[in-house]
Structure 1
Amino acid sequence: MTLRAFVSGLDIGWTDAAIALAAAVVSFVAIHGAVHLVRRKLDQLDGPRARKPIVDVLRHTIARTSNLAIVATSLLIGASLLDLPPPWDQRIGHLWFITLGAQLAVYLHHAIAVTARRYFRVHGRGLEDEQVTVAHTLVIWALQWSVWTVFLLAMLSNLGINVTTFVASLGIGGVAVALAVQNILGDLFASLAIATDKPFEVGDAISVPEFFGTIEHVGLKTTRIRALSGVQIVIANAELLRKTVHNFKRQNTRRVQYTLRVNPATPADLAAQVPERLSAIIEAKDKVKLDHVSLTTMDQNYLEYDVVYNLSDANYPLFLRTQQAVLLETMRMLREMGISTAPRAQELLVHEPAANDGDTRRPDGRQLRPMH
């Protein structure tokens, strides 16, 4: 069949064809001009508005508008004005779905990439390593492939192809693969969670119920930690995330609490002076905010003071130096005041049995020999 015969079979007049072609040309100019105008408006934004996430996503997404999609959309607009016989009216509907669906999938493909990279850049604090890069790439890749898979299935369904069996097969295959590699997948998703949420990073000092150490490397399956003893601990990511992790590197302040015990025979007047003088010693230290010094316990063995203060810097060497200085000055203060930290003296009563010279036998009945 020749092209002329094919066109003649559609029963399209020259007037209708000219109107459809003009509509297609006008549509192309209008759509292309609208896309160009929107891109120019977005590029002209400056200041805080230009740094908004939605503006950044729209700028990169609309820039991916395909000229082929614009041409196809314009031709379809023109064809929609024609009175086409079956089955061409239905085919035009399928072409509408494929054209707009493909362009929407392209938009979502690039929007996912831009949004994910922006999120990882903001929440990653600029610290990128191999594990983080791989994890980000896997997340973006999985989301993008999900978009194209949904579009492909929707397109096949729109064309009249039954995709129910295909979707069920994918589901069964996915379940089988997931059951076979569930431990690996669990550690992989745990790695993605670590890379995204960042409960700890390389170089952080962490503590879990079983050990304390510094993070050396976070891989796709395991995390390597250098313990204080020098040994390297390798633990699965999923298992590590199931534990309660204390991240000491992110500790901003340090709370110090200890008890001071003095002899219970200390006079009440001297005991009342201890909180004030000890508070003065603590408040004189750098980066220290006193909470309280209070007498909390009094019994026959000792008087107990509860001492609490906060360091505005969580640096561990600073804590050791400050605590040592406070304790040494406390010792001098107690010596000057004549207060003892010794507990109450205990009395020991010893009862001696009455001497019995006539009985020289041991409890077992054997005779005791006199010593010369």
Structure 2
Amino acid sequence: MPMGGINNTAALAILSTLGGMALGAFVVWLASRLLKRWVMRLVGRTSSRTDDLLASLVLSTITPLAYLGVAVWGWQSLVSELQALAAGAWLDRVVEGAFQLVAIVLVVRLVNSSLLLLLDRSLRRFGKDRQIATLQSLAPMIRTLFWLLGGLVFLQNQGVEMGAIYASLAGAGIGIGLALKGPVSNFINYLTILLDQPFEIGQVIQFGGHWASVERVGIRSSSLRSLDGERIVISNEDLLSQTIRNFGDLPRRRLVHHIGVEYQTSLEKVRRIPALLQQVVEQVPPAEFDRCHFVRFADSALEFEFVYFVPGGDYVLALNVQQEVNYQIMEKFLGEAIAFAYPTQTLFLEGGSLPPAMPSTGSSADSPQVISSKT
């Protein structure tokens, strides 16, 4: 074929390809605008801003991918029509590799932005400000991880032999894991405390028989202050391996008490005691009365159990309320002539006389004698 015919054929192929690409680009532009308008109207019905931002991220990625698809179609059409380009296989691989690289970059950016956005919004909704700061410090590491995954996917699509790379990464991972076992373990325990939040700074906790308030949480260890005043420094791993009882975030504290009255108390007074205890608790704010019952006949007392609540987790407040309740109970029982019980022993002597040290009660020698002694 004459050179002029070849040039005309190439020119026509290029013009038709450019025309098709222009038409495809126009279709993508029109479709993206209509899709964006419809999606924004749909997500605008909700009060949350998260779905608006997420929709914007997705649309900002879909549109470049659509334009990229048009470019890939144009290149393949041009290659199929021009034998000269088809003969240059290396050029075709370079162009397709560039297209794949751009697509992977767009997808990785979308994944990174969407994931960090969802995590940030979730933490903000639950009011976890400290976790938000931790997420921001970990964001570069998360982005790097997804960029590495995207790079591996790109290399694999380009036909690179990945066996040696995976083996090298596995060997390096084992060596790094052994070398950084301690620091990594400390960092994971630190993240566990920040994310799971078993306690916060200033709260009183109990662990391993110790009561202490949390002063500082570090990457390797935590510093606490015991109720006696000494400072306790314990590694996060040892702290998390124990059962932790957190008293700092109690919605209310439940107090259970038992009191005993003498067996000589009349039935009428025994029946009145639950109501008396309820009156006492209700007169000591902010205590909230729950219940009071005559629970058992103890060895030396008629035993009552009463329960009330104190709002919040302030231990000192609970002790102050308990102290005032005890004062009021003593005052109420004194006014009602109700005697508290104390441990006693009662001996019954059959047909005998009283010991010389005990005064005679005027009873006959044949009647049983009762001797009560305090213990």
With structure 1 as the length reference, what TM-score do the two structures score? 0.78
In the alignment, is the contact (CA less than 8 A) between 2:248 and 2:314 conserved in 1?
A: no
Alpha-carbon deviation of 1:322? 2.4
Measure, in 1, the Cα distance between the counterparts of 2:63 and 2:225. 52
User: SS at the partner of 1:155?
Assistant: helix
Measure, in 1, the Cα distance between the counterparts of 2:196 and 2:212. 20
Could you tell me which runs of 5 or more consecutive residues in structure 1 were left unpaired when the two chains were aligned.
Answer: 353-372
Alpha-carbon deviation of 1:62? 4.3
In the alignment, is the contact (CA less than 8 A) between 1:264 and 1:343 conserved in 2?
A: no
In the alignment, is the contact (CA less than 8 A) between 2:295 and 2:303 conserved in 1?
A: yes
User: SS at the partner of 1:81?
Assistant: helix
User: SS at the partner of 1:75?
Assistant: helix
Measure, in 2, the Cα distance between the counterparts of 1:173 and 1:196. 29
Alpha-carbon deviation of 1:63? 4.5
Percent of aligned pairs with the same residue?
Answer: 21
Partner of 1:25: 22
Partner of 1:361: none
Kindly provide the CA deviation profile for residues 159-210 of structure 1, in whole angstroms up to 9, marking residues without a partner as x: 1110111112112211221122222211201222222232222222222224
RMSD: 3.4
Question: Is 1:122 matched with 2:125?
Answer: yes
Measure, in 2, the Cα distance between the counterparts of 1:65 and 1:47. 20
Distance 1:212 1:42, change over 3 A: farther
Partner of 2:71: 75
Partner of 1:107: 110
Measure, in 2, the Cα distance between the counterparts of 1:294 and 1:104. 67
Partner of 1:199: 198
Measure, in 2, the Cα distance between the counterparts of 1:70 and 1:119. 31
Distance 1:90 1:224, change over 3 A: same
Distance 1:48 1:334, change over 3 A: farther
Kindly provide the CA deviation profile for residues 51-95 of structure 1, in whole angstroms up to 9, marking residues without a partner as x: 25333223245457896x776544322112231625366555444
Kindly provide the CA deviation profile for residues 314-367 of structure 1, in whole angstroms up to 9, marking residues without a partner as x: 443432332222211211222223222133543689999xxxxxxxxxxxxxxx
Alpha-carbon deviation of 1:43? 6.4
In the alignment, is the contact (CA less than 8 A) between 1:50 and 1:56 conserved in 2?
A: no
Partner of 2:366: none
Partner of 2:361: none
Partner of 2:86: 85
| Aligned residue identity for 1:267 | S
Partner of 2:13: 16
Could you tell me which runs of 5 or more consecutive residues in structure 2 were left unpaired when the two chains were aligned.
Answer: 357-375
Distance 1:225 1:313, change over 3 A: closer
In the alignment, is the contact (CA less than 8 A) between 2:260 and 2:302 conserved in 1?
A: yes
Measure, in 1, the Cα distance between the counterparts of 2:114 and 2:346. 83
Partner of 1:260: 259
Measure, in 2, the Cα distance between the counterparts of 1:80 and 1:164. 31
| Aligned residue identity for 1:198 | Q
Partner of 2:362: none
Kindly provide the CA deviation profile for residues 212-254 of structure 1, in whole angstroms up to 9, marking residues without a partner as x: 2222222222222222233332222233222222222211111
Measure, in 1, the Cα distance between the counterparts of 2:36 and 2:203. 44
Measure, in 1, the Cα distance between the counterparts of 2:237 and 2:37. 47
Partner of 1:369: none
Aligned runs of 1:353-364 on 2, under 5 Å? none
User: SS at the partner of 2:128?
Assistant: coil
Distance 1:32 1:143, change over 3 A: farther
User: SS at the partner of 1:301?
Assistant: coil
Partner of 2:371: none
Kindly provide the CA deviation profile for residues 26-70 of structure 1, in whole angstroms up to 9, marking residues without a partner as x: 333444555556566666778662525333223245457896x77
Measure, in 2, the Cα distance between the counterparts of 1:177 and 1:351. 88
Measure, in 2, the Cα distance between the counterparts of 1:326 and 1:64. 67
Distance 1:203 1:30, change over 3 A: farther
Aligned runs of 1:167-246 on 2, under 5 Å? 167-246=166-245
Alpha-carbon deviation of 1:102? 1.9
With structure 2 as the length reference, what TM-score do the two structures score? 0.77
Partner of 2:153: 154
Alpha-carbon deviation of 1:304? 0.9
Question: Is 1:57 matched with 2:57?
Answer: no
Distance 1:30 1:139, change over 3 A: farther
Distance 1:235 1:44, change over 3 A: farther
Measure, in 2, the Cα distance between the counterparts of 1:34 and 1:312. 59
| Greater displacement, 26-35 / 261-270 | 26-35
Partner of 1:144: 143
| Greater displacement, 287-296 / 252-261 | 287-296
Which structure ranks higher in relative contact order (CA pairs < 8 Å, sequence separation ≥ 6)?
Answer: 1
Alpha-carbon deviation of 1:255? 0.6
Measure, in 1, the Cα distance between the counterparts of 2:61 and 2:31. 14
Kindly provide the CA deviation profile for residues 284-341 of structure 1, in whole angstroms up to 9, marking residues without a partner as x: 3334332221111214411111111223444434323322222112112222232221
